[in-house]
């Protein structure tokens, strides 16, 4: 006999999963181990005969072959049927569940536990894989399981997998009228009476912007359906969390306590709260059953622990952009519009000469003024003066309430009367969106941050990094906290940590970017320098470099026994503006949000906060995590490639390096930027275009020295991006053949790596251009002088060599011709020459260049020749004769000397 066990007080998810399993395991029987929820009980009163249900008392334990447990991992939730788990002749025990974080407390041969909204979803997925169809009755009860456990896909634990499962069940003939009847059956008369009592006795507490409520109901006996009552209370009172306790007597000396919890507060976990007392469930909905306890003490204990787990809500200090872009009241409308365009703001704060806030002018105000022809009018005539303000400590719920009540899009942040920041509607929406996403993220112990799902399970930064590197980050965060600053790990280091394969203390990131966000706490934009100097005092072996007008700093270690060749950049959060395409950006102090916004791709615009009180928080304003999951490269701004063409090369490098795809819209932006001709126009109009010069060369270096340089070049060519080097450069069959030949040459002639291989690849690309363009392109990329000279002279030398080698010549003449040119030049000539010429150059490099005269200077001295200038001539003639095969051994060499140089 194959049994499927539902937990006691079975719900629709347990029943639906069990019904699905009967189709996966034909002949198996379902056992309800101890009662059912009232809606399930009512449903089965009409539909029991549709499913293979049997009573527990009708089971002969001796005939049990296998047991499958659904929707639970706890022995005590199986009632007396749990005894069957210990039968020695039961060879197979399988568990299907969707409750994460629970510890299985009995032995199982197989477990299928997955983070979906309902266990039934797991059955649907297997049925689909095996192409098993269902009857309408089976589809209906399984759909009820998913609907009820996911709140019809509205609960936080609902996933796309649940939605797909429901869609498939509808195709199988789900009865929607039955779903509507039993999904929300309403409260029984008994529960309606208890609802009235609960509303009267409900106690409230407001904490950190959230409302928590609790109530204890005394009844004469067990009350079915209390979970429905709890949900109804939450809905009616609009509270954020509820603990509903029900106590009833079992005997004169014994009683039972049931506690049902509901929470809509982000980052709280009722499952973790109830587990130590034997309860469990989901993070947002859980229950607990106890006997013979002090109900008042238990409820107080749970309330205290729950309150302690409520996170501190973000404050204006966490959300605001700082410093604030301000203007004076006499600033013209035209100038205000230019500032809005430059910084991408939707409004500007207007202050007087002392910095006191006078009002706010929005983009809409400016647009209206421009429409009416008042471009030269001062903004004071259009600004809003009745401004609502907040302090740095105003919480997110309070900010949200102000914006909704007064329909305000931006709130200035004042600290002792001084304008220190601004919070916009966009800031609030982003934070709320992040709060919703934090269900998959868990705060770990001090200094750790755990990712429970996606892009891979359970990440801990402290466990992933080497201890020495983690200690350095800890020292940096402590130094920042001491000054009241926030410190973030940003960019590539966060990205590489998220997608790394190994999280066991071996991830040694060699290039780290740290950003200080605390401008509102310090007037010194050189916060990064200050932090770097303190770190150098702790690590005197590191070299400190301070560079740029913006006072960023770098700490560099060289072959350190613990930190190897680590490079740590530390900067103050900043924003940037490109005065024209391909220029260097102009940078100004800003906030971490704007600092991330200026970056290139979403996967590089993720930050991890290192400082408390919100250490371990991931900032992902632009969907970088989703793009990591989707394995795609997505740009942040439509004009990103117009402003900086090197981002095209960076995007290609990341795509090929990680095996990602370039997102279609991003690819469209790339092609538009290239085809627009903006780079040609910019180069003609501006003498300095760093993005087409030094920065482009740096990106080419990164690509051409990487093992994936070939597919990267091919992708660049497919996008038309090689035009950034020169408009005529294309990766045709000839240049591909030349690049293949180049690799053979480098492997054969430069095994000791005396040449710079990435540079040789770049020279081969430039050499493929028409001769009149080569020197100009090489100079534009600011290549080394020897490379520029080689490319400048290449056409002339190639003509000389090919002309000379086109006719038959003895080896000595070939050697005498080619010995005047360095190895890179000969390689470049060989790449572009016909097979006959290439073969002679190849033979020269492999054979003739290594041949020496049969006799040397010492031999000449022994033979009686006096040392002098004639030695050089004699040795050259001996080499010529050797190369041409005139002499082959010492005897012939001596005869040669006697004949041509008699003593």
Cross-strand pairs, 99: none
- CA–CA separation, 542 and 533 (whole Å): 10
Q: Which residue has the tokens 């034997």?
A: 278
- CA–CA separation, 60 and 284 (whole Å): 39
* Sign of the CA dihedral with 24 first, then 28, 33, and 37 last: positive
Residues 6+ apart with CB under 8 A from 673: 641, 642, 645, 648, 679
Assign 631 to helix, strand or coil.
Answer: coil
Quick check: 126 and 24 in contact, CB under 8 A? yes
pLDDT given at position 355:
83
**pLDDT, tens only, 63-95:** 999 999 999 998 988 999 999 999 999 989 999
The pLDDT-based confidence of 588 (bands split at 50, 70, 90) is: low
- CA–CA separation, 825 and 827 (whole Å): 5
Specify the pairing of strand 552-556 against strand 53-54.
Answer: unpaired
Determine which of 214-223, 252-261, 659-668, 676-685 has the lowest per-residue pLDDT on average: 676-685
Residues 6+ apart with CB under 8 A from 736: none
Q: Is 339 exposed, middle or buried (0-12, 13-18, 19+ CB in 10 A)?
A: middle
Determine which of 364-373, 598-607, 675-684 has the lowest per-residue pLDDT on average: 675-684
Residues 6+ apart with CB under 8 A from 895: 887
- CA–CA separation, 454 and 493 (whole Å): 17
CA angle 87, 92, 97 (to 5 degrees): 105
Report which DSSP code applies to 314: P
pLDDT of residue 502 exceeding 60: no
Residues 6+ apart with CB under 8 A from 633: 601, 603, 627, 651, 654, 655, 660, 661, 662, 663, 666
**Over the range 418-436, which residues count as b (16 or more CB within 10 Å of their CB) and which as e?**
ebbbbbbbebbebbeebbe
- CA–CA separation, 731 and 793 (whole Å): 23
For residue 841, CA distances in Å to 167, 746, 754, 820, 881 come to 69, 14, 19, 13, 20
Quick check: 529 and 551 in contact, CB under 8 A? yes
Quick check: 697 and 783 in contact, CB under 8 A? yes
Determine which of 201-210, 382-391, 435-444 has the lowest per-residue pLDDT on average: 435-444
At 347, give phi and psi (nearest 5°). -170, 165
The pLDDT-based confidence of 901 (bands split at 50, 70, 90) is: confident
Q: What percent of the chain has pLDDT over 90?
A: 49
pLDDT of residue 786 exceeding 90: yes
DSSP 75-141: GGGGGGGGGGGG-TT--EEEEEE--TTPPP-S--SEEEE--SS-HHHHHHHHHHHTT----HHHHHH
At 644, give phi and psi (nearest 5°). -145, 95
**pLDDT, tens only, 390-421:** 999 998 888 988 998 888 888 999 988 888 88
pLDDT of residue 431 exceeding 80: no
- CA–CA separation, 464 and 696 (whole Å): 33
pLDDT given at position 255:
93
pLDDT given at position 831:
93
The pLDDT-based confidence of 684 (bands split at 50, 70, 90) is: low
pLDDT of residue 691 exceeding 80: no
Nearest to 432 by CA among 464, 458, 395: 395
Assign 11 to helix, strand or coil.
Answer: coil
- CA–CA separation, 112 and 94 (whole Å): 8
Mean pLDDT, range 531-553, rounded to an integer? 85
pLDDT of residue 440 exceeding 50: no
Quick check: 840 and 817 in contact, CB under 8 A? no
Residues 6+ apart with CB under 8 A from 291: 250, 254, 255, 256, 257
The pLDDT-based confidence of 590 (bands split at 50, 70, 90) is: low
pLDDT of residue 472 exceeding 80: yes
Residues 6+ apart with CB under 8 A from 723: 674, 679, 729
The pLDDT-based confidence of 506 (bands split at 50, 70, 90) is: low
Q: What percent of the chain has pLDDT over 70?
A: 91
Tell me if the bond preceding 323 is cis, omega within 30° of 0. Answer: yes
For residue 422, CA distances in Å to 349, 399, 411, 515 come to 9, 11, 6, 20
Across all residues in the chain, what is the average pLDDT?
Answer: 86
Nearest to 204 by CA among 236, 243, 232, 262: 243
DSSP run (H or E) holding 498: helix 492-499
pLDDT of residue 744 exceeding 80: yes
- CA–CA separation, 619 and 596 (whole Å): 9
DSSP 446-470: TT-EEESSSSSS---HHHHB-HHHH
146: which 2 tokens? 């998913």
pLDDT given at position 443:
37
**pLDDT, tens only, 131-190:** 999 999 999 999 999 999 998 998 878 999 999 999 999 999 999 989 988 887 677 888
Reduced DSSP (H G I as helix, E B as strand, rest coil) percent helix, strand, coil of the chain, to 5: 50, 20, 35
Radius of gyration of the chain (CA): 38
- CA–CA separation, 518 and 322 (whole Å): 8
- CA–CA separation, 731 and 739 (whole Å): 10
At 820, give phi and psi (nearest 5°). -85, -5
The pLDDT-based confidence of 450 (bands split at 50, 70, 90) is: very low
pLDDT of residue 448 exceeding 60: no
Assign 188 to helix, strand or coil.
Answer: coil
Assign 508 to helix, strand or coil.
Answer: coil
Q: In the chain, what is the straight-line distance between the N-terminal and C-terminal CA atoms, in Å?
A: 113
- CA–CA separation, 664 and 172 (whole Å): 35
Assign 360 to helix, strand or coil.
Answer: strand
Residues 6+ apart with CB under 8 A from 311: 208, 265, 266, 267, 268, 443
Quick check: 615 and 447 in contact, CB under 8 A? yes
Quick check: 798 and 774 in contact, CB under 8 A? no
Determine which of 245-249, 611-615, 659-663, 837-841 has the lowest per-residue pLDDT on average: 611-615
pLDDT given at position 457:
38
Quote the crossing angle between the two packed helices 835-846 and 823-832, to the nearest 10°: 150
pLDDT given at position 449:
41
DSSP run (H or E) holding 257: strand 255-263
Q: Which residue has the tokens 């529960």?
A: 191
- CA–CA separation, 159 and 154 (whole Å): 10
Cross-strand pairs, 242: 213, 262
- CA–CA separation, 441 and 456 (whole Å): 12
264: which 2 tokens? 């809509």
Specify the pairing of strand 567-572 against strand 2-6.
Answer: unpaired
Assign 663 to helix, strand or coil.
Answer: coil
Nearest to 617 by CA among 486, 728, 496: 486
Cross-strand pairs, 757: none
């Amino acid at each position: 006999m194959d049994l499927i066990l539902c937990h006691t007080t079975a719900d629709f998810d347990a029943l639906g999963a069990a019904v699905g399993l009967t189709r996966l395991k034909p002949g198996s029987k379902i056992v309800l181990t101890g009662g059912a929820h009232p809606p399930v009980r009512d449903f089965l009163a009409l539909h029991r005969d549709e499913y293979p249900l049997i009573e527990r008392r009708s089971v002969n334990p001796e005939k049990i072959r296998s047991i499958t447990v659904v929707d639970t991992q706890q022995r005590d939730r199986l009632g007396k049927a749990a005894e069957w788990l210990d039968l020695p002749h039961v060879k197979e025990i399988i568990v299907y569940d969707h409750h994460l974080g629970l510890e299985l407390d009995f032995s199982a041969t197989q477990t299928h536990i997955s983070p979906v909204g309902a266990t039934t979803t797991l059955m649907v997925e297997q049925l689909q894989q095996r192409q098993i169809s269902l009857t309408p009755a089976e589809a209906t009860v399984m759909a009820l399981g998913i609907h009820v456990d996911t709140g019809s896909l509205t609960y936080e634990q609902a996933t796309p997998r649940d939605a797909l499962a429901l869609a498939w069940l509808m195709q199988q003939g789900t009865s929607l009228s039955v779903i509507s009847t039993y999904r929300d059956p309403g409260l029984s008369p008994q529960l309606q009476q208890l609802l009235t009592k609960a509303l009267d006795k409900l106690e409230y507490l407001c904490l950190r912007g959230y409302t928590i409520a609790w109530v204890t109901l005394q009844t004469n006996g067990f009350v079915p359906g209390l979970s429905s009552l709890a949900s109804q209370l939450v809905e009616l009172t609009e509270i954020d969390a509820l603990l509903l306790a029900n106590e009833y007597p079992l005997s004169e000396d014994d009683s039972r306590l049931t506690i049902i919890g509901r929470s809509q507060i982000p980052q709280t976990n009722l499952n973790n709260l109830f587990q130590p007392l034997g309860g469990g469930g989901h993070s947002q909905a859980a229950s607990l059953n106890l006997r013979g306890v002090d109900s008042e003490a238990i409820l107080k204990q749970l309330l205290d622990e729950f309150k302690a787990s409520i996170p501190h809500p973000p404050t204006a200090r966490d959300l605001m952009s700082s410093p604030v872009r301000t203007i004076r009241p006499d600033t013209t409308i035209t100038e205000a519009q230019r500032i809005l365009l430059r910084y991408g703001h939707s409004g500007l704060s207007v202050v007087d000469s002392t910095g006191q806030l006078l009002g706010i002018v929005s983009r809409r105000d400016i647009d209206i003024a421009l429409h009416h022809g008042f471009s030269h009018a001062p903004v004071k005539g259009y600004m809003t003066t009745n401004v609502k303000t907040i302090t740095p400590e105003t919480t997110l719920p309070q900010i949200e309430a102000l914006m909704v009540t007064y329909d305000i899009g931006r709130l200035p942040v004042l600290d002792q009367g001084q304008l220190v920041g601004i919070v916009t509607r966009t800031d609030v929406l982003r934070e709320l969106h992040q709060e919703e996403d934090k269900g998959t993220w868990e705060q770990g112990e001090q200094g750790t941050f755990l990712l429970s799902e996606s892009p891979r399970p359970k990440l801990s930064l402290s466990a992933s990094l080497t201890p020495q590197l983690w200690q350095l980050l800890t020292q940096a965060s402590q130094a920042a906290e001491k000054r009241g600053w926030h410190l973030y790990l940003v960019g590539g280091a966060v990205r590489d940590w998220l997608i790394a394969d190994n999280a066991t203390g071996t991830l040694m990131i060699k290039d780290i970017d740290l950003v200080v966000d605390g401008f509102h706490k310090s007037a010194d934009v050189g916060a990064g320098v200050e932090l770097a100097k303190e770190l150098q005092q702790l690590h005197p072996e590191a070299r400190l470099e301070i560079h740029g007008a913006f006072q960023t700093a770098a700490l560099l270690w060289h072959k350190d026994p613990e930190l190897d060749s680590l490079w740590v950049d530390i900067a103050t959060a900043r924003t940037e503006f490109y005065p024209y395409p391909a220029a260097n950006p102009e940078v100004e102090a800003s906030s971490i949000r704007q600092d991330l916004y200026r970056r290139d791709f979403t996967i590089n615009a993720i930050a991890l906060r290192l400082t408390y009180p919100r250490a371990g928080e991931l900032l992902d304003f632009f969907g970088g995590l989703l793009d990591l999951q989707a394995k795609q490269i997505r740009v942040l701004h439509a004009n990103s490639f117009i402003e900086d063409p090197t981002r095209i090369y960076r995007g290609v490098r990341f795509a090929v390096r990680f095996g990602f795809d370039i997102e279609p819209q991003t690819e469209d932006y790339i092609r538009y930027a290239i085809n627009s001709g903006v780079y040609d126009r910019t180069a003609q109009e501006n003498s300095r275009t760093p993005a087409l010069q030094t920065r482009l060369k740096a990106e080419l270096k990164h690509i051409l020295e990487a093992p994936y340089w070939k597919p990267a070049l091919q992708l660049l060519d497919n996008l038309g991006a090689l035009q950034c080097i020169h408009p005529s450069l294309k990766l045709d069959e000839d240049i591909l053949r030349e690049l293949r030949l180049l690799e053979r040459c480098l492997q054969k002639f430069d095994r000791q790596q005396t040449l710079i291989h990435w540079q040789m690849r770049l020279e081969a690309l430039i050499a493929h251009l028409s001769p009149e363009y080569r020197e100009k392109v090489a100079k534009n990329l600011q290549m080394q002088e020897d490379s520029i000279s080689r490319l400048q002279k290449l056409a002339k030398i190639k003509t000389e060599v090919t002309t000379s080698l086109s006719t038959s010549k003895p080896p000595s003449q070939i050697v005498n011709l080619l010995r005047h040119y360095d190895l890179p030049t000969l390689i470049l000539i060989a790449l572009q020459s016909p097979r006959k010429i290439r073969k002679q150059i190849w033979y020269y490099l492999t054979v003739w260049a290594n041949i020496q005269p049969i006799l040397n200077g010492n031999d000449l001295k022994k033979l009686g020749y006096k040392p002098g200038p004639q030695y050089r001539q004699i040795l050259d003639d001996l080499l010529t004769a050797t190369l041409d095969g005139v002499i082959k051994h010492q005897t012939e060499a001596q005869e040669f000397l006697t004949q041509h140089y008699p003593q």
